[in-house]
Structure 1
Amino acid sequence: MSDDETDVLEFSLGAGRYCIDIAHVDEIVDAGEDVTPIPNSEQHVIGVVDLRGETTTVVDPRVKLGEDGAADGTRIVVLSDHDATGLLVDDVHEVEAVGEAALDESAASETTRGIIRRDDRFVVWVEPDALV
């Protein structure tokens, strides 16, 4: 990996592909655990799960990204810089190095850094701080 490249974790939400800087990822776990809802929580908060004795808040990134679909993902991407918080995603695909030249920042928004063009698709680079 060169100096101007960043490793990103690519994941899906519905038909969309997204990625996050791998430096923000602590671990990836199966979402097989029952999520306990939290009454009167913010709309994007699904609930909490117990991960190895630690209460972890699970959020639905679809809400902050304005995506349709049910929060019924199969994986939880636990974030490293947010106390015990994880993103519920449909699937996790791969970690890839992305060069700065591959990032189109003209599509950046409150929640995204921009768009990465892959051979047959676009991948939206999301900012974890904006999703939690």
Structure 2
Amino acid sequence: MERCESMPSHHVLTFTLGGEQYCIDIEYVAEVVSSLREDVTSIPDSPPHVEGKLDFRGETTRIIDPRASLLPEEYEANGIRQDRMIVFDTEMMTGERSGWMVTDVVRIVTIDLESVEAVNKEMINGIVALGDEQVVWINPETILAKT
């Protein structure tokens, strides 16, 4: 099993999307809030995975459904409640305020090099072993760049 030797230890935020668990570096996250789906305004002619935009704390925030990139086979499936929103730090990302609608936010954990299995995919930093669970460590920049 190949390990990701080039990555230092990180604090990550774990979250669920549908039935799968993922994590992202905490440095990307500005905050986590309850879903504001009812306040999202659709954007005409935007891709279907762009939920729309909302005014969040005085800033226009683009809302993305990351299932389009992470779970494309489940993307069209209705009935998956997405009750939390991860709002990204503008300075860490593309300069545009963005948020992801996710099913739930689980916890913040510290991962080390020993628990990460390398994966040769653009969006994925690796697979993290957290106890008995395998969590996909994703790179939000690559997903947001495609939206």
Under a length normalisation based on structure 2, what TM-score does the superposition of the two structures give?
0.80
8 Å CA contact 1:47, 1:59 repeated in 2: yes
8 Å CA contact 1:114, 1:126 repeated in 2: yes
Give, in angstroms, the shift of residue 9 of structure 1. Answer: 0.2
CA deviation map 1:64-106 (0-9, x unaligned): 113414474111111112321011111001000000121101x
**5+ long unaligned stretches in structure 2:** 1-7
Q: Does 1:23 align with 2:5?
A: no
8 Å CA contact 2:36, 2:85 repeated in 1: no
Distance 1:87 1:113, change over 3 A: same
1:80-119 alignment to 2 at 5 Å?
A: 80=89, 81-82=92-93, 83-105=96-118, 107-119=119-131
Give the number of aligned pairs: 129
Q: Does 1:47 align with 2:46?
A: no
Normalized per residue, the structure richer in strand is 1
8 Å CA contact 1:11, 1:90 repeated in 2: yes
Q: What CA distance in whole angstroms lies between the structure 2 residues aligned with 1:36 and 1:54? A: 14
What is the RMSD of the two structures over their aligned residues, measured on CA atoms? 1.8
Under a length normalisation based on structure 1, what TM-score does the superposition of the two structures give?
0.88
Q: Secondary structure at the match of 2:132?
A: coil
Percent identity, aligned pairs only, is 35
